[in-house]
Structure formats: structure tokens, C-alpha cells
């Protein structure tokens, strides 16, 4: 049975696994944005913290994904099997790129612009909201894109701890030596990653600052 035939014969199953996959990735990345952007902003205010926080986030990144899922198994509340530990793991993997890009993005905003903004009487919050965040948005969005794409990949492994998603086909396919089944998980995951990257790129253009170089 070819891969296309396989997908067509199990389209409901593939579709629900895809939706599960999107849900896992979506929740994790959304949580990582919610935590990572404020942390990144905080690091620009307390730069001495940056080395430590980015260091810890970097170390998490080096833990092999399967091992991290394994570490989470015995933990209460956030661990065990199912959706919760999967989201926790994906969240942790997403953090680094988002924190780092927020931090670097804001640090790269031209100091002259920030000083002009402060000189005009903006409060620290206003400088952040009206100057720093809009000007570092492309960088922050790039971080979110990286995280989202990485998450789609790692989320396939979460099937190993019973969180569902497209990884189910891959694991089952491997154990049954069924290539069509492996592809039924892998191909939609790859397409999903590409789509997410494309959509986030569009969003970035839509909400971002006007591109330079149009005029003089």
C-alpha cells in the first residue's frame, strides 16, 4: 500500500492526529511566548541576569528530547504521561529562542532612539511599548518561528509518552516496519512546520515596522 493510499484510507485518524499535533505545539509555543517575552524584556533591565538565564535555557536545549521526556515521567504534577509532560517539554525547548531573540532584539534598538524617547518624557513602560517592542518585533517573531518549527519536530516524539500527535504513526510504523505508516506521520509534520513558518512570516510582515530601503 502506497503512502497516499494509506493516508486516504485513514484520513480521519491522520486528521485528528494532525489537530492533536497542532494543539500540542500551539499551547506550548503560546506558553513559551507568554513567559519568554517578559523574561527577555526583564533581562534587558537586569543584564547581569542574562548570562545565567540564557545559560540555563541553553542547557535545557542540550538535553536530548527523549531523555527530557524520560526525566519528566516520575515528576508529580508536571510529569507522568500524556499531554501535560509533553507540553512542559515543548515549552522548555521553545523558551531559549524566544528569550534570546527578545533580549537581543531589544538590545539592538538604536540607543539614540531610546534616549530621544526618554527625553520626550516617555515612562519606562512607554519606551518599551511604543519603541522597544515594535522595533524588535522582527527579531522576536524570528525567535517564535524558530521555536514553532522546532516544536513541530520534537512534538512527534511526544507520542512516546502517550501525548498523541503525528508521532503515533511514526512510532507504530517503525515497530511494524511499515514505511507508508511512518511517512503518514512524517510528511504531515513536515508540511505543518513549513505552513507554520510561512504563516508566522506573513504575520511578522503584517504587524512589523515598514521595511527599510524603499526610499532614499
Binding to another protein, residues 105-124 (CB under 8 A): 110, 112-113, 115-123
64 vs 210, beta carbon nearer another protein: 210
3-state secondary structure the chain: CCHHHHHHHCHHHHHHHHHHHHHHHHHHHHHHHHHHHHHHHHHHHCHHHHHHHHHHHHHHHHCCHHHHHHHHCCCCCCCCCCHHHHHHHHHHHHHHHHHHHHHHHHHCCCHHHHHHHHHCCCCHHHHHHHHHHHHHHHHHHHHHHHHHHHHHHHHHHHHHHCCCCCHHHHHHHHHCCCHHHHHHHHHHHHHHHHHHHHHHHHHHHHHCCCCCCCCC
95, 131, 161, 189: which one contacts another protein (CB under 8 A)?
131
125 sits near another protein (criterion: CB under 8 A):
no
203 sits near another protein (criterion: CB under 8 A):
no
213 sits near another protein (criterion: CB under 8 A):
yes
Per-residue binding string, another protein, 47-86, x by CB under 8 A, is: ----------------------------------------
Per-residue binding string, another protein, 133-172, x by CB under 8 A, is: -xx-------------------------------------
Binding residues for another protein, per CB under 8 A?
110, 112-113, 115-123, 126, 130-131, 134-135, 209-210, 212-216
Amino acid at each position: 500500500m502506497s503512502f497516499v493510499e494509506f493516508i486516504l484510507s485513514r484520513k480521519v485518524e491522520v486528521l485528528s492526529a494532525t489537530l492533536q499535533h497542532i494543539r500540542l505545539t500551539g499551547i506550548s509555543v503560546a506558553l513559551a511566548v507568554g513567559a519568554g517575552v517578559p523574561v527577555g524584556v526583564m533581562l534587558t533591565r537586569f543584564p547581569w541576569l542574562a548570562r545565567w538565564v540564557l545559560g540555563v535555557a541553553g542547557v535545557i536545549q542540550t538535553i536530548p528530547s527523549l531523555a527530557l521526556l524520560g526525566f519528566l515521567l516520575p515528576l508529580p504534577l508536571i510529569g507522568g504521561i500524556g499531554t501535560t509532560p509533553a507540553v512542559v517539554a515543548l515549552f522548555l525547548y521553545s523558551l531559549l529562542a524566544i528569550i534570546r531573540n527578545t533580549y537581543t532584539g531589544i538590545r539592538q534598538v538604536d540607543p539614540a532612539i531610546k534616549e530621544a524617547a526618554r527625553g520626550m518624557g516617555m515612562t519606562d513602560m512607554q519606551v518599551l511599548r511604543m519603541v522597544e517592542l515594535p522595533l524588535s518585533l522582527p527579531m522576536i517573531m524570528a525567535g517564535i518561528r524558530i521555536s514553532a518549527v522546532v516544536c513541530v519536530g520534537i512534538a512527534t516524539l511526544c507520542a512516546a509518552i502517550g501525548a498523541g500527535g503525528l508521532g503515533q504513526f511514526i512510532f507504530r510504523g517503525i515497530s511494524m516496519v511499515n514505511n507508508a505508516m511512518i511517512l503518514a506521520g512524517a510528511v504531515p509534520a513536515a508540511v505543518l512546520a513549513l505552513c507554520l513558518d510561512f504563516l508566522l512570516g506573513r504575520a511578522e510582515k503584517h504587524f512589523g515596522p515598514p521595511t527599510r530601503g524603499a526610499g532614499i
